[in-house]
Amino acid sequence: MAMDAGEIIRLIQEGIPDAEIRIEDLRGDGDHYAAYVYAEAFRGRTRVQQHQMVYSALQGRMGGELHALALQTGTPEQAP
């Protein structure tokens, strides 16, 4: 079952409250997304740690309801 982009945003926002989030449905199938997440909470953390924070916020849905998620993370001043 596919996951709605709004649900992805909600989960990330709950886990990382200061996050600026943009989601793209890469194939239009509700199963392959790109997430652009920028948050002050990422400051001083490695890219791997930032991605782990996002995956943690998704509460185990990666690989199940959410099949594929390409992540781009950083601090707010790194946002395009």
Note the pTM of the prediction, 2 decimals. Answer: 0.89
Q: What are the residue boundaries of the structural domains of the chain, listed by start?
A: 5-78
Given the candidates 3.40.50.150, 3.30.300.90, 3.40.50.1370, 3.30.9.10, the CATH classification of the domain at 5-78 is 3.30.300.90
Residue written as tokens 């200061």? 18
pLDDT at residue 60, rounded to an integer: 82
Contact 66, 73 (CB under 8 A): no
Looking at residue 32, what is its pLDDT?
A: 85
Per-residue pLDDT reduced to its tens digit, 55-64:
999 988 887 7
